[in-house]
């Protein structure tokens, strides 16, 4: 069986868990604390970032974008319309542009700040940066999430899914990153009904279930986190 | 003809210029100042990052990784051994892992600091962050480049090129990012002969010529920047 080294509140790990679930690939989940930089993990992935997929053959595939491409290379061609990177080059550009947006820009401006400040720091030892959250980082993330939500609403206003007609990696990346922010109650859903409906649609998919069951010890989610009709 | 919106000292832009030259694709170069965030450019690429490729058909392809994938999708299959993303899934994982290393990690730890502090800031208006360089950022980049150089040497000690037997996107990404640091004289080449020989090999390729001809107005390059036998 494949093995996924992940953290339940790492948004990149959640993106890959969604892909695996959508593709029906079972994987054993091994929880990692990203701040520990365990040597066995660094031997498999010198960059040390999460998640890391070990496929059935033992091949180590590191990082969310590389894993997504690998799964498209190896599983995509047989999926037809259910392929998360479409066949046509222009469609692939649009999906990758948006994946890059959420794994890069949204992460750097929103989800990394919130996961680090509100979740990881509760569990990190002081000498590795643990302690109380930096409120200015949290305020910045809360301000930034608003224009990302608007951008999602803007795209969905003319498209069925984020990158076009079909569900794609773009939706899975966006929803995975938003799901962390949503756990914390920091998505201003009322500001964009279109984006909210898109999220409700994707949140209702069976692939989302295990994400909605995750809990941060000692920290309850926002009341509508696992409510499919929020 | 294709058009590449770029900056001559943006390392991501240099990566794409190398790919285009290696593939023999002529493109008109349009220089952008990344800090200006011109509206016509933002309309083509809302994320605003460089470079941006407009292909012959007018399709806008934004960002270094998305452009590299697009060129592999559209040109790669006919290139055989000269393909910069190999055919086999494990080979593709290794190339993408290293591209991600240089476009992400090396950029964040080395080339972004140096390009911004030493080059961009000379030309940026004060109100956009221009002014004298932040010496602590430069010191951090100079410390960080040493372990990256060692990592290149470690890989090249057992491989012909960075990701394996053939020249790949990994070499082009690494060399593009290093070339900025090299212009500034901040690569401690003496610390790793193996890495130095690899760089001399890739720097001698015809695709590198236009990069070696670039000059920052008012700032001469390090004396061996365009010396092929440095």
B133 vs A128: CA distance, rounded Å: 29
Provide the pLDDT for residue B80: 85
**Residue A124 and residue A140: Cα distance in Å, rounded?**
22
CATH number of A89-208: 1.20.1050.10
Cα distances (angstroms) measured from residue B140 to each of B9, B98, B150, B191: 20, 22, 16, 17
* Contact across the interface for A89 and B96, Cβ inside 8 Å: no
pLDDT at A59: 97
Query: Residue A96 and residue B46: Cβ atoms within 8 Å?
Result: no
Question: Which of B47, B70, B100 has its CB closest to that of A63?
Answer: B100
Q: How far apart are CA B173 and CA B102, in angstroms?
A: 6
- CB contact under 8 Å between A73 and B90, yes or no, is no
Determine the pLDDT at residue A2.
96
**Long-range contacts of the stretch B77-85 (C-beta < 8 A, 24+):** B81/B166, B82/B166, B82/B167, B83/B166, B84/B19, B84/B22, B84/B167, B84/B168, B84/B169, B84/B172, B85/B168, B85/B169
Separate counts of helices (H) and strands (E) for chain B = 10, 4
Q: Which helix (H) or strand (E) holds A183?
A: helix A169-183
The CATH code of the domain at A2-79 is: 3.40.30.10
Q: Report DSSP letters for B16-69, one per residue.
A: HHHHHHHHT--EEEEE--GGG--HHHHHH-TT-PSPEEE-TT--EEESHHHHHH
Interface test with B, best of A76, A96, A99, A148 (most B CBs within 10 A): A96
Eight-state DSSP code of residue A201: H
pLDDT of residue A81: 82
pLDDT of residue A132: 94
Q: Is any Cβ of chain B less than 8 angstroms from the Cβ of A75?
A: no
pLDDT of residue B205: 97
The SS3 call for residue B207 is helix
Give residue B37's pLDDT band: very low, low, confident or very high (50, 70, 90).
confident
pLDDT, residue B228, reads 82
Say if B2-79 and B89-206 have the same CATH topology.
no
At residue A157, the pLDDT reads 96
* A59/B105 touch (CB, cutoff 8 Å), yes or no: no
Domain ranges of chain A: 2-79, 89-208
- Residues in B closer than 8 angstroms to A90, CB to CB, are 59
Inter-chain CB proximity A96 and B47 less than 8 Å: no
CB contact under 8 A, B69 and A73: no
Mean pLDDT for chain B overall: 95
Q: What gap in Å lies between CA B128 and CA B108, rounded to an integer? A: 20
User: Quick one: DSSP state of residue A24?
Assistant: T
Task: Give me the mean pLDDT over the B42-47 stretch.
Answer: 92
Instruction: Note the pLDDT of residue A229.
Output: 75
Residue range B124-143, pLDDT digits in tens: 999 988 999 999 999 999 99
Omega within 30 of 0 (cis) for the link into A51 = yes
Quick one: pLDDT at residue B21? 97
Distance CA B146, CA B170 (A): 18
CA-CA distance, A158 to A153, in Å (whole number)? 9
∠ CA A225-A136-A223, nearest 5°, is 15
* Cα distances (angstroms) measured from residue B187 to each of B74, B100, B121, B180: 35, 20, 20, 10
Interface A-B, measured as beta-carbon pairs within 8 A, has a size of: 61
Chain segment B46-87, per-residue pLDDT in tens: 999 999 999 999 999 999 999 999 999 999 999 988 899 999
Residue found under tokens 């999460």: A50
Sites in chain A below the pLDDT cut of 50: none
Portion 139-178 of A in contact with B at CB < 8 A? 151
Q: How many CA atoms lie within 13 A of A16 on its CB side?
A: 32
**May I ask the CATH class of domain B89-206?**
mainly alpha
A59, closest residue in chain B (CA to CA): B90
B230 has pLDDT over 90: no
- All residues of chain B having their beta carbon less than 8 Å from the beta carbon of residue A71 are none
Give me the pLDDT at residue B34, please: 86
Whether chain B has a CB inside 8 Å of the CB on A214: the answer is: no
- Give B73's contacts in chain A (Cβ within 8 Å): 89, 92
């Amino acid at each position: 069986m494949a093995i996924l080294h992940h953290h339940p509140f790492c948004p990149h790990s959640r993106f890959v868990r969604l892909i695996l679930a959508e593709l029906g690939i079972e994987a054993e989940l091994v929880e990692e604390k990203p701040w520990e930089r365990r040597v066995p993990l660094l031997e498999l992935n010198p960059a040390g970032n999460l998640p890391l997929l070990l496929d059935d053959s033992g091949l180590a595939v590191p990082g969310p974008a590389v894993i997504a491409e690998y799964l498209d290379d190896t599983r995509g061609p047989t999926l037809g319309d259910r392929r998360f990177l479409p066949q046509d080059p222009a469609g692939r550009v649009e999906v990758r542009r948006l994946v890059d947006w959420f794994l890069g820009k949204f992460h750097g401006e929103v989800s990394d700040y919130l996961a680090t400040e509100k979740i990881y720091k509760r569990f990190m030892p002081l000498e590795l940066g643990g302690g109380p959250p930096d409120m200015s980082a949290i305020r910045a993330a809360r301000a930034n999430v608003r224009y990302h939500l608007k951008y999602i609403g803007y795209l969905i206003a003319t498209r069925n899914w984020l990158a076009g007609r079909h569900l794609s990696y773009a939706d899975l990346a966006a929803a995975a990153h938003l799901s962390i922010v949503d756990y914390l109650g920091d998505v201003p859903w009322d500001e964009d009904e279109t984006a909210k409906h898109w999220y409700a649609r994707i949140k209702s998919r069976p692939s989302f279930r295990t994400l909605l069951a995750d809990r941060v010890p000692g920290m309850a989610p926002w009341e509508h986190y696992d409510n499919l009709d929020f």
